[in-house]
Each structure stands twice: as structure tokens, then as C-alpha cells.
Structure 1
Amino acid sequence: MKKKKFYILKWAILIALIVSAFTSCTKEEAPNFPKNESSTLKCATVDNEVECDLIAGQYINVGTVLYSDDGVNLEVQYVTSDGWSLSELHLYVGPEEGIPTNKKGNPVIGHFPYSEESLPDVTTSYTFTVPLGDDECYAVAAHAVVYDVHGNVETAWAKCEYKPIITLKTWLKDPDGSSGHSTFWAVSSGEPISTSDWCSIMGTNVYVKGDKYSLVSNCYSNPGSITVTDDGSNLKVTVKANDDLLLYRTYLFVGTKEQLAAYGICPNYPAFPYKIENVYSDTHVLEAPLPPTINNSISFQEAFGANSWGWFSQYCKN
């Protein structure tokens, strides 16, 4: 009798293991990421913040300028890098038509309403706090005078390029159909973000031109890759499956974190505006326009016909 019970128990355990193995690749569950630095999802946060490059001498990247707000005040933080320091700062926040310029359209930084011209030696960070009014959007022109350890002095301006949030989910299948549909997440070596709730925005990235992503799965060690490029107006997203796998469905989101949240805590991926469904192929290519919610910087030459270089940007409240 004991021997019979033992065989029944053994078969029950075996059946449970088989069922578990069969369903593990079809359930929507957090993937087991490989434990190596190059492919493990990195954690970061995306605040209500716009990060811009601080460009000196028209072409030298000497740091960043961060714009963020709490609905009441706009904070503008200058941060230098690579041995550069801040000497003078001039900041304009207001309507575009109010930017101080001369008859030639060149900005008159001495008339900018916020300035700091007596910074201590080797200052590498400084923050302005500017009260915001009732307007939703503002022109922001951030100027600096910077110097390096060799005594070289340059004028610098903040130049912003909008980097949208991008996330993608795709289903793959073995050519013989034996594995069923499986869910995959895109992971980048760029600036990925995640939350404590894995299904929320895992695999979401702040897009940087030329990003190269890897697909990660519970079922395959190297399922495929994603390449994202843009032509200044549209993103081109190319999803490529590896090892004779076939893509079946792909869903793409491009936009802001707030827009992504509208699809739910666990996003309703089929509702994403860019998709390919019921198409078996080793490659899916999707295109999406770059969202216009945050404008790239505009040159003073383009806006006012200036003969001097520099940029201003439009910042909208979060």
C-alpha cells in the first residue's frame, strides 16, 4: 500500500513539473534577466525633468542644463563636466517675443532677468529658481561663460533635443509552432527605467538616437534585437528575431511617461497606436512620428535672424 502511494505521489510531482514547464513561456511574468552588466535591466527614474546639453564654442559639450518644475517654480540647474567651470550665468524665462535682442536679432544677455556674475572659482553647479505664472509654456534661454583648467574661456548655451520614452512588446514563436506565443521585453544599454511593479513599464527607455536594444525572455537565451533610429521627424524601429524564431505580434509606444500611464498599470499593449499583428516574419519594422510635446531648441538665427549663435527652448509645465 505504501509503495502504491509512493508511485502516485511521484507521478503527481512529474505531471506538475511538466505543466509548469509548458506554461512558463506563455504566462505574462517577469523574465529572469541574465546576470551580466551588459544585458541586465538597469534601474533609473524619470522625473518631471528636461535635460539639455550645455554647448560651448558652438560645438563643445561642457555639461548639462536641467529644467524641472513643481507647478509653482521652474528650476534651472547648470552642471559642468570634463574640467569645465562656470564663470557667469544669464537666464531668460518668459514669452518668446520678450527675449531681449538688439536690432540685429542677437540676444542681449545683460538684459536677461536672472543672472549671476560673481561665482566662486571652480564652480561646477548652480541652480536658478524662477516663479512660474499661469502660462503653460515658456521660452527658456540659458547662457553661461565657462572656462577650463588651461584658462580657455568660452560662451555657452543650453541646447535641448527631445528624447521620448519608448517601450515595445513583441510575441515570438518557433517555426514549427511548438512553443506557443511568448512575451518579450526590450532592454537597452542606454537609459532604461523601471518601477517596482514589473508589468508597468519594464523595458521602457529614454530614447537616444541610434539605440541598440536586446530582447529578453524566460524562454530563449538570445531571442533577438531592436534597433531604433530617426530622421529628425520619425522613429524607425526594427525588430529582428534570432535563431530561426518568428515574430508574430509587435506593439510600440512612443511618447511621454504620462501618456504611457494612460494605458494602465499593466499596459494594454494591443491599444498602442503602432502595431503589427498576425504577421509571421523574422523582422518587423514600425515607424512613429517624434512627439511634438517638447520642442527641440531653436537657434536665434532661425527665430530672429541673428548673426550670433545660440539657442532657446520651449519648456511646458509638467
Structure 2
Amino acid sequence: MIKKTFIAIIAIGLFNSCQTDDLQLGEIETNSYEFTVNTKDLSGLVSRNSESACYSTPLIAGQNYTAGRIDVEIVNEEGVDFVYITYLTNEDWVLKLTHLYAGDKEGIPETKKGNPQPGVFEKRMDYEANIISDFEVEYKIPAEALNECFYIAAHCEVVKVDEKGNEIQRETGWGEGEEFEGGSWAMYFEFCKFSCETGGGDTGGEK
């Protein structure tokens, strides 16, 4: 479990975007943002009833594959609302890396050409990221930190393995939505809180 958590922290916190074209990370004023990703390995637990999500969009891998979905829901925990954004892959794909941005559209880290910079997404928000299994990673964000309607860019890397556990394919993935203006196939989508009915949800328990 310790080894898995360490790998997750490296994957979520340190991976740099493959879309580097003409912008260096130093050009983004990251020091003015909180950056706290607390990764918990909760393998074997079910975080929530995944059918309760009030918004879901396909998780597209390599432009041509549906590798799973991105779920969004609002859960009330002891009187406080939290937005949960969850990566869920199907049995064919394993999650190896995730980067998430949630907030104003203008705040999405982009290159000068208009392509996203996933490697610094989490520097824009105080996130908690939980690993539920090789097929599920969830992000938890205080709802009050987000506007009524906001934008989500959900990036990941997924792999296929054969029956012997050998990696046979690796792809970049994005939550399906609108494409960025830079010419890559990266995507983002809009979510509004009024899409959810809050209250009654809790997390982290076995079912």
C-alpha cells in the first residue's frame, strides 16, 4: 500500500504535460496558488454509489477508445458540500496517472498556442485525491471554492495489460467535452452545481 501511494503522489504531483510547445512552466505564477494533494490509497473500498453521480461524460483514450467515464457529484458531509470528480475506467484499462483542473475557464493552464498544461493543473486548487483502485481515482474539492458553474479538464494516462499483466498499450485520456483552441485533441467540459441535489451522501465506507 505504501509503495502504491508513493507512486500515485509522483504521478499526480510531478508529471509534466506532453503538450509543452512554446511555454515553460516558469512562466506560470504557480507560487500564488495552494498546492496540497493528499493521496490516500483506499483500495478495496467503495467510495460512493457511483450511480448517484449527477453528471457523467465518457473518458476518451487515444481519441479512438472509450476507456470509462468521468463522474461529477456533490456530497454533503457533516453540513459541508464537496464536489467529487471521479475517474472510472472499464475492465480493459488501468489508470496510471491523473491530472485534474476545476475552476474558471480562464484559469486553465495553457500554452501560448492554446493547448493545456496538465502538469500544473493541481497548482490551481487545494485538492484531495484518493486512489480507490487501479480503475478508480477520485478528487474531492470544497464546493464553496467553485463558482455555480465551472469548467473541468480531466486528463489521465491509461494502459491495457494482457492476461499475464504485461503492458500492451498506453494512451492519453481526457474527459469528453469541448476541444481546446491549440489544435490538440485535449478537452474540457462545463459543470453547474444546480445539476445536483445536495445532501445525504457520505464517503469512504464499505458497502
TM-score interval w.r.t. the shorter chain?
Answer: 0.5 to 0.7
Correspondence 1:96 to 2:105: yes
Residue matched to 1:145 = 157
Question: Are residues 1:56 and 2:68 paired?
Answer: no
TM-score by length of 1: 0.38
> Could you say which structure has the larger radius of gyration?
1
| Aligned amino acid, residue 127 of structure 1 | E
**Paired letter, 2:101:** Y
Aligned-pair Cα RMSD in Å: 2.8
**Closer, same or farther: CA 49–109 of 1 in aligned 2, 3 Å:** same
Tell me, in whole angstroms, the C-alpha distance in 2 between the residues paired with 1:96 and 1:46.
Answer: 27
1:138 to partner: Cα distance:
0.7
Is 1:158 matched with 2:175? yes
Runs of 4+ in structure 1 off by over 3 angstroms are 45-48, 114-117
- Preserved CA contact (<8 Å) 1:78 1:126: yes
Q: Which residue of 2 aligns with 1:310?
A: 186
Q: Could you tell me whether the CA contact under 8 Å between 1:67 and 1:76 is conserved in 2?
A: yes
Aligned equivalents of 2:99, 2:189: Cα separation in 1: 15
Q: Closer, same or farther in 2 for the Cα pair 1:79/1:48, shift >3 Å?
A: closer
Q: Deviations over 1:93-121 (max 9, x none)?
A: 0000000001111100011017899x79x
Aligned to 1:128: 139
Contact 1:90–1:116 at 8 Å: present in 2 too? no
Q: In the TM superposition, what is the alpha-carbon distance from 1:90 to its structure 2 partner?
A: 0.3
Structure 1 residue 84 corresponds to structure 2 residue 96: no
Instruction: Tell me by how many angstroms 1:132 deviates.
Output: 2.1
For the 8 Å contact 1:58–1:310, the answer to whether it is kept is no
CA distance in 1, matches of 2:134, 2:173: 15
Structure 2 stretches lacking a partner, 5+ long: 1-49, 197-207
Amino acid at match of 1:315: F
Count of matched residue positions in the alignment of Structure 1 and Structure 2: 132
1:70 to 57, 66, 75: 75
Secondary structure at the aligned position of 2:172 is classed as strand
Query: Which structure has more helix as a fraction of its residues?
Result: 2
Determine the structure 2 residue equivalent to 1:105.
114
Q: Which runs of 5+ in 1 are unaligned?
A: 1-44, 160-296
| Alpha carbons 1:55, 1:157 under 8 Å: kept | yes
Distance 1:310 1:76 in 2: 18
Larger RCO (alpha carbons 8 Å, 6+ apart): 2
User: Is the 8 Å Cα contact of residues 93 and 141 (structure 1) preserved in structure 2?
Assistant: yes
The AA in structure 1 aligned to 2:178 is: I
Task: For 1:126 and 1:78, locate their aligned partners in 2 and report how far apart those are by CA, in whole Å.
Answer: 5
For the 8 Å contact 1:91–1:142, the answer to whether it is kept is yes
Pick the aligned partner of 2:178 from 298, 301, 306: 298
Q: 1:89 to 1:65 in 2, by over 3 A?
A: same
CA shift at 1:48, angstroms? 5.4
* Cα contact 2:128–2:139 (8 A) shared by 1: no
Whole-angstrom distance in 2 between the partners of 1:139 and 1:315 = 6
1:228-249 alpha-carbon deviations (Å, 9 max, x no partner) = xxxxxxxxxxxxxxxxxxxxxx
Q: Cα–Cα, structure 1 residues 142 and 153, in superposed 2: closer, same or farther, change >3 Å?
A: same
Q: Cα deviation per residue 1:20-68 (whole Å; 9 max; x = unaligned)? A: xxxxxxxxxxxxxxxxxxxxxxxxx974511111100012001111000
1:163-312 paired onto structure 2 within 5 Å: 297-300=177-180, 305-312=181-188
User: Relative to structure 1, is the Cα distance of residues 48 and 149 closer, same or farther in structure 2, using a 3 angstrom cutoff?
Assistant: closer
Using the aligned pairs only, state the percent identity. 32
Change (3 A) 1:110 1:46: closer
Partner of 1:187: none
CA distance in 2, matches of 1:299, 1:110: 18
Evaluate the alpha carbon distance shift between residue 60 and residue 46 of structure 1 in structure 2; reply closer, same or farther with a 3 A threshold. Answer: closer
Distance in structure 2 (CA, Å) of the matches to 1:90 and 1:146: 12
